[in-house]
Amino acid sequence: MLVCSVLWYLIKLRNNPILLQAPPVMQIKRLLLIFFILQLPVAGAAAEEGLYSGEVVVPGQGAEDRIQALPDALIQVLQKLSGQRDVPFSPQLDEALGNAENLLLSFRYRNVERNGPDGAVTRELRLVAQFMPAAVDRIVQQTGLPRWRQERPAVQIWVVIDDGSKRELKPLEYTYAWESIEDVAGLRGLPVTWPELDEEEAQLIDMRLVWGGFTDYLVERGAPSDGVAIIAARREGPLWNLRWNVANGEQNWTWRNSDQELMFALAQGVHQMTDQIAAANTIAASDLGLYSIDLTIGGLNSAVAYANCLAYLQELSLVSAVEILGANPGRVHFRLQLNASSEYLAEAFNRGTVLSPSKAGSDNDYEFLRQ
């Protein structure tokens, strides 16, 4: 669709003498405007779908059951957006929870099969409630909650079980426990993945280093540098003792926890992992608001580069709107409307691999690295 529209514009430009007489900068600006309009409707849609929905177990699909479950679903959304495990009570929050039905955008139900420690399978009916993003954002602002940035790299989970005779990665007999990891992470808005290893790849893994919590060893072997966790678990008497090593970019955390049930110990640890990662990537409530910044981005030497750059800027959760101020060959001048202080935008650029500060120019000059 995007390519066809650009080709249409170029043909139109070629066949229209009035458009052709326009200065080159105006021609480029019109072309960029097409890219901007075409990309805008889908910006951030995927992130909003997950972060603004809550999933709650319900006894049935009746209206009364749904209405009673909606406040819990809304609390879950606020937990995801703020990164806070416990959302502090306030009159504004109480009012929002009482009005949860009017904030509902859509809902559906899904059946989930849960495996128990004894091998029994139970079935749950869950309500998936999608709330209106703009209305929820106002609640976050009114209640003074911080904002956990929507750019959340998935954490790759490596679990090693030591049964006294051997150490094994993610044994199948503990499927119920791995489900608890996914459930708690989903509840908190933390994306997680599992390593996908064939038999040969698994044999090449040095289990001593994995058990030792060396996340850098896994990164060297292809694990994501912006999110990897090693959970070393051993049953000692009545307790499961767990050691956690988590790496998230330049941040590293280590802690231990225990419980009589493995799934409960894992749930506690996932909560703590989410607390740590969210705190390191949260925008304080005092830094939220309306801001704008002008940028100049070079390296935009093709139509594909223009489109990719615009898509990248629009997908940043900090960016509310993008305006094109002007263009020169290979360079475009943007004005970005932000929902938080511009210092967080610089952090987002530095963490990514899309824009690099220009070696010559002001602090707001960047070079586009992808084509």
Residues 229/156, Cβ–Cβ less than 8 Å: yes
> In the prediction, which pLDDT does 349 show?
85
> In the prediction, which pLDDT does 19 show?
38
Q: Which CB contacts under 8 angstroms, 24+ apart, belong to 33-36?
A: 33/324, 34/5, 34/6, 34/9, 35/2, 35/6, 35/303, 35/306, 35/307, 35/310, 36/310, 36/314, 36/322, 36/324
> In the prediction, which pLDDT does 288 show?
86
Q: List the structure tokens of 50.
A: 């997950």
Structure confidence by residue, pLDDT tens digits, 96-139: 999 999 999 999 999 999 888 888 889 999 999 999 999 999 99
Q: Which CB contacts under 8 angstroms, 24+ apart, belong to 110-115?
A: 114/176, 114/179, 115/175, 115/176, 115/179
> In the prediction, which pLDDT does 351 show?
76
Structure confidence by residue, pLDDT tens digits, 124-135: 999 999 999 999
DSSP state of 284: -
In whole angstroms, what is the distance from residue 131 CA to residue 84 CA? 19
Residues 206/295, Cβ–Cβ less than 8 Å: no
Distance linking the first and last C-alpha atoms of the chain:
19
Q: Radius of gyration (Cα) for the chain, nearest Å?
A: 24
The pTM score is 0.78
The structural domains of the chain, ordered by start, are 2-44+286-368 (no CATH), 46-149 (no CATH), 155-280 (3.40.50)
> In the prediction, which pLDDT does 25 show?
45
Structure confidence by residue, pLDDT tens digits, 254-302: 999 999 999 999 999 999 999 999 999 999 888 888 899 999 999 888 8
> In the prediction, which pLDDT does 371 show?
56
